[in-house]
C-alpha cells in the first residue's frame, strides 16, 4: 500500500509505504527513507511521527537512513588518496551524520514496491556533503521469516566513502511506553568499545568492556548501569558509544516481561548503542519521547574510522559496488 504522508514546508509531497509478512508489518516514508513503524504481533516497537511535518521538526533522526557516512568525523576532515576531504561542520568543529543536508532529510525515489519489500533510491552528486564521486544508492527493506532485513547498496565513479546505517529507536515494550525503554534487557557480545572524548569523538582506544558499565556480554537492563560514576558515561550523558563486533550477532535485546526478543545481525564491524540521552520529541499518537525513550542500535563502521587507518575502513573504489546487510529478527 502507498499513500500520501503530507507535504514538507517547501510544498514537496512525501509518501508512506506499507509492507507486511505474517506477523510483522512496516511503514516507511521516502523522506529520509525512514522506518516509521515496525509492528510485531500488533505491537509497534519503533519510535516515529504521525506525518511528515513531525519528521521535519524532529532532530533525532527517528528511523532515518543516514549517509553517506554515519556518525562523526573529527575535525570534519580526512585524507583520501592524498587529498584532504573537507566536510560540513555541524556539531562544533566536527561532522555528524554527513552534515545538515544529509540524505536523512531528502526525498528518495521509489525503485520497487512489493507486498513484503520496498526499495528506495537516491543519487548523490560529486562533492555532495564534501564527499567525492557521483553515487547511486539503494536501500531495500524486506520482511520475511519473522524479521526485517535492510540491504544497502552503493556505487560511485570516484573512490569515496560508504557507511550507511538506520537510526531507528526501538522499544520492545511498545513505542507508547517510553518510560519502560531503559528496562529493556540488552546483550552485546563485543569485548571492546570505543571511549569518546568530550566532543563525542573516539579517542582511538579500544577498551575492554570487562569490569565496566559497558559490559553487556550477558543480558542486563540498559538502565541498570547508565548512571554509574564512569567517565565515558559522564562525557556523553549515557550510552552513545561504538562496540567492536566480534561475530555476526551484534546485539540481542528483549522485553523481560513479554519475552519479545530482537536479534541484530550484520556484516558491519561495529554497532553504536545510543540510549536516547537527548531525545525530546512528540511522536505517534501524541506520545512524548523524552530522555531515554528508545534505544538505537546502529550497525556501522566506527565513528571517525576515516581518521584511524588501523581500523576497518569505509572506503570504496570507483566502480565497485558496496553492499551491506543488517537484519532484525523477532522471536
Q: What is the number of helices (H) and of strands (E) in the chain?
A: 2, 30
Residue 112 grid cell: 520497487
- For residue 59, the tally of other CB atoms under 10 A from its CB is 10
Phi and psi torsions of 62, nearest 5°: -60, 110
Contacts of 93 (CB under 8 A, 6+ apart): 75, 76
Determine the 3-state secondary structure of 155 from DSSP.
strand
Distances (CA, A) of 129 to 74, 97, 102: 15, 10, 7
The residue from 97, 185, 298, 308 that is catalytic is 298
Cα pseudo-dihedral 200, 203, 206, 209, rounded to 10: -50
Q: How many beta carbons lie within 10 A of that of residue 68, not counting itself?
A: 26
Which has the closest alpha carbon to 75: 92, 59, 55?
92
Strands 2-7 and 270-274 come out as unpaired
Query: Please, are residues 239 and 305 in contact by the beta-carbon 8 Å criterion?
Result: no
3-state DSSP call for residue 108?
coil
- Three-state secondary-structure class, residue 306: helix
From the candidates 97, 167, 241, 308, give the one annotated as an active-site residue: 167
C-alpha cell of residue 111: 525503485
**Active site includes 167?**
yes
Residues whose CB is less than 8 angstroms from the CB of residue 57 and which lie 6 or more positions away in sequence, other chains included: none
Instruction: Provide CB contacts within 8 A for 101, sequence distance 6+.
Output: 88, 129
The answer to whether 206 touches 196, Cβ cutoff 8 Å, is no
Query: Known catalytic residues?
Result: 167, 298
Amino acid at each position: 500500500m502507498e499513500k500520501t504522508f503530507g507535504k514538507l514546508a517547501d510544498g514537496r509531497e512525501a509518501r508512506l509505504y506499507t509492507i507486511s509478512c505474517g506477523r510483522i508489518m512496516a511503514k516507511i516514508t521516502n523522506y529520509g527513507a525512514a522506518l516509521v513503524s515496525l509492528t510485531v504481533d500488533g505491537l509497534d516497537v519503533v519510535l516515529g511521527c504521525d506525518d511528515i511535518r513531525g519528521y521535519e521538526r524532529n532532530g533525532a533522526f527517528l528511523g532515518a537512513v543516514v549517509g553517506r557516512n554515519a556518525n562523526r568525523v573529527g575535525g570534519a576532515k580526512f585524507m583520501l588518496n592524498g587529498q584532504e576531504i573537507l566536510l560540513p561542520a555541524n556539531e562544533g568543529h566536527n561532522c555528524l551524520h554527513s552534515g545538515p543536508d544529509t540524505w536523512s532529510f531528502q526525498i528518495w525515489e521509489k525503485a520497487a514496491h512489493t507486498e513484503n519489500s520496498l526499495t528506495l533510491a537516491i543519487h548523490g552528486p560529486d562533492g555532495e556533503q564534501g564527499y567525492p564521486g557521483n553515487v547511486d544508492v539503494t536501500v531495500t527493506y524486506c520482511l520475511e521469516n519473522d524479521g526485517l532485513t535492510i540491504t544497502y547498496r552503493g556505487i560511485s565513479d570516484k573512490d569515496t566513502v560508504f557507511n550507511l546505517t538506520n537510526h531507528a529507536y526501538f522499544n520492545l515494550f511498545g513505542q507508547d511506553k517510553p518510560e519502560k525503554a531503559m528496562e529493556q534487557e540488552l546483550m552485546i557480545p563485543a569485548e571492546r568499545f570505543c571511549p569518546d572524548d568530550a566532543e563525542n569523538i573516539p579517542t582511538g582506544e579500544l577498551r575492554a568492556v570487562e569490569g565496566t558499565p559497558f559490559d553487556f556480554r550477558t543480558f542486563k537492563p540498559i538502565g541498570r548501569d547508565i548512571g554509574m560514576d564512569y567517565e565515558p558515561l559522564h562525557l556523553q550523558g549515557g550510552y552513545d558509544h561504538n562496540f567492536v563486533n566480534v561475530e555476526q550477532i551484534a546485539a540481542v535485546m528483549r522485553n523481560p516481561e513479554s519475552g519479545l526478543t530482537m536479534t541484530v545481525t550484520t556484516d558491519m564491524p561495529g554497532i553504536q548503542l545510543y540510549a536516547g540521552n537527548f531525545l525530546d520529541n512528540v511522536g505517534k499518537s501524541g506520545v512524548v519521547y523524552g530522555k531515554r525513550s528508545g534505544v538505537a542500535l546502529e550497525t556501522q563502521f566506527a565513528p571517525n574510522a576515516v581518521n584511524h587507518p588501523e581500523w576497518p575502513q569505509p572506503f570504496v573504489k570507483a566502480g565497485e559496488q558496496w553492499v551491506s546487510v543488517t537484519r532484525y529478527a523477532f522471536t
